[in-house]
Structure 1
Amino acid sequence: MVTFSDVDAVSQDVVTPADIELLDLVQRQNFRYFWDAAHPVSGLALDRLGEPPQPTKDLVAVGGSGFGIMAIVVATERQWISRADAVERLRAMVDILDRAPCYHGVFPHFMDGRTGATIPFSRKDDGGDIVETSFLCAGLLCARQYFDGDTAAEIELRRRINVLWDGVEWNWHTRGGRNVLYWHWSPNNGWSLDHEIRGWNECLITYVLAASSRHHAIDPAVYHRGWAESRNFMNRRTYYGIELPLGVEYGGPLCFAHYSFLGLDPRGLRDRYADYWDQNVRHTLINREHCLRNPNKHKGYGPACWGLTVSDDPQGYLVHAPYSDRGVIAPTAALASLPYTPGFSVHALRHFFHDLGDRIWGDYGFTSAFSEGKNWYSRVYFALDQGPVIAMIENYRTGLLWRLFMSCPEVLEGLARLGFESPYLD
């Protein structure tokens, strides 16, 4: 059994030059999803690509587009595209965001990439989605910090990003001053979905950005009395010999350790509740250990085949976690965990590519998921799968996106307001 005390010895397994070449290939292939396969008019990220087709070829994902912006930054830094081409693509993305309907500055979950019109996520979810907007803003802020040149194009790009960022009314989503953020608001349905955002899950970034706003910041009490006062926030129980500081039993899907941390650097990040590097490493180890122990006897699970998160499934797009283990492995889960468990993640990468590549590797990297027990291999790519892979591989290799996001003065002020400690605040 692998326990947390063993992590320094086993998860830092040697990453060879051949592994680095493979990581580079994965990043470049994933980037194609956000560049070659982006919406042809706006450049925003398609929610999904493959079979079955999405409801409309113009459906783009707001949060996935934020991940795509980070991918463009990585590609520019690695010189896969020119700086001028990157700025031009970002300008097109900002153009459609400027014109699109927003709801107190908050964007919807889905948009029409051609017109900017809101595409309802569900019958009553037809307005602002503050979580997807936070993923978008994290990407925009990374781009603002990266494209810091004195050309007219880069100066204008930064100005327009600031207009979008400053326009988000984060405090509107406290529903008149309550001590919690609400996920959705609609001009047609108001607050009828009544979805409070309480931890622990993928939404830490939402609270951090809400506290960082220059014009519409939330009070710190919203974080401490809303996010941190959920029955699923503190844990401190032990699973497979590994204590888990925060979250639901066994940690939940691994996207909780990814989505908020594409830009937010967990290294040395802590507050009164947890050390967030420690939290994410432990969560990843529990997820992997579950796959090694394989209590449900799913075919294919093992040291080189692990990773449960939100992904495609024979029954649709579903949550996969130790408590809801359907025998479906998502490559994004292990690969986006590379900073936390590099040796274990590279071990999985070798298996996914060399042993299963003929079934799950394609034009835009690895497809969403597979189940060897059901002889099922997804033919779908999702922006929310592809984005964390390229971003977290880059953070493992160079820390680029972490440095960019944490260089935002507003973010540092927001973290300090919420009582966080970080090396960037020293």
Structure 2
Amino acid sequence: MPDFHALSTLPDQDLLEFVQRETFRFFWEGAQPTSGLARDRCRNSVDPDPSDDLVAIGGSGFGVMALVVAVERGWVSRPDALARLDTMLACLERATCYHGVYPHFMNGRTGATIPFFRKDDGADLVETSLLFQGLLIARRYFDGPDPAEQAVRGRITNLWREVEWNWHTRDGRKVLTWHWSPNNGWSLDHEIRGWNECLITYVLAASSPTYAIDPDVYHRGWAGGPAFRNERRYYDIELPLGMNCGGPLFFSHYSFCGLDPHGLTDRYADYFKQNVSHTLINYEHCRHNAAGHSGYGEACWGLTASDDPDGYSAHAPDNDNGSISPTAALSSFPYAPDQAMAALRHFIGDRGERIFGRYGFVDAFCDNRDWTADTFLAIDQGPIICMIENFRTGLLWRLFMSDPDVRIGLRRLGFDSPYLRAGEA
């Protein structure tokens, strides 16, 4: 068992390095062994690894980004990372897909779809976008002349070019639809409208070199719904976009593991301001703690989607049952570094024996119910590594924003960014 008090007194950079590296073990040691792809979740206690072969497509995208960070920081060698990527890509190449789009869950041994629920048994466009956010970053990072690196780049490009993003406009609708099933068609009828975690889906759909959407799909679909704009104030903080009080914090994390929000603007918002406001509203809600939840305070905050004592929920200021998710604060370092560091030192120093395990921080805890999660989730562990790295070095942001296809997509949608103004080749 680590000396959590000693860890809590480490210099900032040493403590961040420790947390990133320990969290990376979820994706390196805890991956599904046949495919190397990310399990949806693992346990911290007895029999921690699932007996099934279920892997999560979006979670695997975070795993690819975490792998890039691991190579850059020397936790794994470049050849070992390329070997893992080779295994991951082999599974993705043989897997069942739907017009190039992957399902939410699949079998890492066979590549067969595992239904998320009864009618969600086919394409999941949002999970696929999280996967390709990671794969395009890997394509930029492994840029050497070595045949292994050339092969990885070529295989990623082939998968990328096969995704039929415009299929999900359903013959010309001005909005993307989340799911399609060979058994149920479009029956879920879940339109992807903002503001939520899906900005990355529209950016990649506009960036495709083969099946790009028309910009009107973004402007009339994503940005056209009644819940897109906000412009109200909470705790005297103006929130440009989204639901009341901003919603769960993963809205400001998932798309922005690759998209650099600094200077990223379009006709609707300044996205760094959006994410900072969202984060600070979430922080102030926990700090003020009007509901009187146990444990909340300046160093114990962060509401997002996670496990909780009753199952799983998208926790937010307007859906708060007292469950704190460490990923919420730790993935917010780029937006509120002082508040995030205070939370990290509290989580590790005061609660480490209870909430820190074999793959870093467990998913959540709830003092009201004397409950601590026994789980680690891919979609919560991944952003901790990625967003801390972006805070420290901007590595993933630089790689993603320098991708030529991504720059084309951003320009098509009317975005401005320092990366676009620099005119990088």
Query: What TM-score, normalized by structure 2, do the two folds share?
Result: 0.95
Q: Following TM superposition, by how much is the alpha carbon of 1:17 offset from its aligned partner in structure 2, in angstroms?
A: 6.4
Q: Following TM superposition, by how much is the alpha carbon of 1:222 offset from its aligned partner in structure 2, in angstroms?
A: 0.2
Hey, what does 2:151 align to over in structure 1? 156
Partners of 2:143 and 2:149 within 8 A in 1: yes
Residues 1:368 and 2:363 are matched in the alignment: yes
Residues 1:345 and 2:340 are matched in the alignment: yes
Hey, what does 2:15 align to over in structure 1? 22
Deviations 1:299-348 (A, max 9, x none): 00000000000001111111100000000000000000001111110000
Hey, what does 1:9 align to over in structure 2? none
Within 5 Å, which residues of 2 pair with 1:135-214? 135-214=130-209
Give the letter aligned to residue 325 of structure 1. D
SS at match of 2:11: helix
Hey, what does 2:254 align to over in structure 1? 259
5+ residue gaps, structure 2, are 1-7
CA distance in 1 between partners of 2:82 and 2:277 (Å):
38
SS at match of 1:373: helix
Partners of 2:44 and 2:358 within 8 A in 1: no
Deviations 1:45-98 (A, max 9, x none): 000001798985211000000000000000000011110000000000000000
5+ residue gaps, structure 1, are 1-14
Within 5 Å, which residues of 2 pair with 1:326-405? 326-405=321-400
SS at match of 2:323: coil
Partners of 2:302 and 2:328 within 8 A in 1: yes
Picking from 317, 322, 341, the partner of 1:322 is 317
SS at match of 1:71: helix
Query: What TM-score, normalized by structure 1, do the two folds share?
Result: 0.95
Partners of 2:26 and 2:381 within 8 A in 1: yes
Give the letter aligned to residue 23 of structure 1. L
Partners of 2:66 and 2:382 within 8 A in 1: yes
CA distance in 2 between partners of 1:343 and 1:405 (Å):
26
CA distance in 1 between partners of 2:85 and 2:9 (Å):
35
Partners of 2:31 and 2:39 within 8 A in 1: yes
SS at match of 1:150: coil
SS at match of 1:162: helix
Identity of aligned residues (%): 66
List structure 1 segments (4+ residues) > 6 angstroms apart after TM superposition. Answer: 51-55
Hey, what does 1:281 align to over in structure 2? 276
Residues 1:98 and 2:89 are matched in the alignment: no
CA distance in 1 between partners of 2:280 and 2:51 (Å):
38
Within 5 Å, which residues of 2 pair with 1:27-106? 27-50=20-43, 57-106=52-101
Hey, what does 1:298 align to over in structure 2? 293
Residues 1:231 and 2:231 are matched in the alignment: no
SS at match of 1:70: helix
Picking from 103, 106, 118, the partner of 1:108 is 103
Give the letter aligned to residue 386 of structure 2. A
Hey, what does 2:213 align to over in structure 1? 218
CA distance in 2 between partners of 1:113 and 1:361 (Å):
27
Q: Following TM superposition, by how much is the alpha carbon of 1:385 offset from its aligned partner in structure 2, in angstroms?
A: 0.6
CA distance in 1 between partners of 2:187 and 2:401 (Å):
35
Residues 1:125 and 2:124 are matched in the alignment: no
Partners of 2:248 and 2:305 within 8 A in 1: yes
CA distance in 2 between partners of 1:188 and 1:54 (Å):
31
Residues 1:134 and 2:134 are matched in the alignment: no
Residues 1:309 and 2:296 are matched in the alignment: no
CA distance in 2 between partners of 1:283 and 1:345 (Å):
14
CA distance in 2 between partners of 1:317 and 1:58 (Å):
21
SS at match of 1:353: helix
SS at match of 2:172: coil
Deviations 1:172-198 (A, max 9, x none): 000111000000000000000000000
Give the letter aligned to residue 306 of structure 2. S
Q: Following TM superposition, by how much is the alpha carbon of 1:18 offset from its aligned partner in structure 2, in angstroms?
A: 1.1
CA distance in 2 between partners of 1:282 and 1:56 (Å):
42
Deviations 1:133-179 (A, max 9, x none): 00000000000000001111110110000011111000000011100
CA distance in 2 between partners of 1:168 and 1:30 (Å):
30
CA distance in 2 between partners of 1:54 and 1:420 (Å):
43
